[in-house]
């Protein structure tokens, strides 16, 4: 399958939509998407430092923002990889390869066990992002 030589930056198109439309299309608000995107980028850098051989070879032809968007769109709609690939200007097999990698990184950065819990978290908006740490006060023994 031949694709366009220039990949489409759908993230910019989706980002330009109203917050209500973004939520309806992607399944998370633009603010939540941005926070998850930052964690996603950090987790990719951690993964690449752990697996140094992943830094070799050609760089991905699809941006990190579009990879995360593609992952959310697939989880939201369960569209075929062929159709998603056409939207992003990449082949069906490369779409599946990028989805599997993005899903693995997303599960790692959200600390979820499997894809089912990720899907349920997106549907019910129960994905919580921990941004602070707090010490737990415990009673002293034998007071």
pLDDT at 132: 44
Q: How sure is the predictor about 58, in pLDDT bands with cuts at 50, 70 and 90?
A: confident
Average pLDDT (111-135) is: 59
Q: How far is CA 37 from the centre of its chain?
A: 7
Average pLDDT (31-49) is: 90
pLDDT over threshold 90, residue 27: no
CA distances from 136 to 15, 96, 126, 130, 132 (A): 39, 43, 24, 15, 13
Distance CA 102, CA 1 (A): 23
- Could you read off the pLDDT of 59-95 as tens digits, one per residue? 778 999 999 999 999 988 888 999 999 999 999 999 9
Q: Do 63 and 32 contact (CB within 8 A), yes or no?
A: no
Distance CA 42, CA 37 (A): 9
């Amino acid at each position: 399958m031949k694709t366009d030589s220039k990949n489409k930056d759908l993230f910019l198109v989706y980002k330009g939509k109203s917050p209500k439309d973004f939520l309806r299309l992607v399944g998370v608000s633009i603010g939540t998407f941005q926070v998850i995107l930052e964690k996603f980028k950090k987790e990719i850098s951690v993964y690449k430092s752990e697996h140094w051989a992943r830094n070799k070879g050609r760089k991905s032809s699809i941006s990190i923002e579009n990879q995360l968007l593609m992952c959310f769109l697939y989880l939201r709609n369960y569209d075929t990889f062929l159709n998603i690939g056409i939207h992003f200007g990449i082949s069906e097999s490369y779409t599946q390869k990028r989805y599997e990698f993005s899903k693995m990184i997303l599960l790692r950065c959200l600390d979820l066990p499997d894809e089912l819990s990720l899907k349920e978290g997106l549907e019910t908006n129960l994905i919580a992002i921990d941004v602070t740490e707090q010490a737990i006060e415990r009673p002293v023994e034998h007071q």
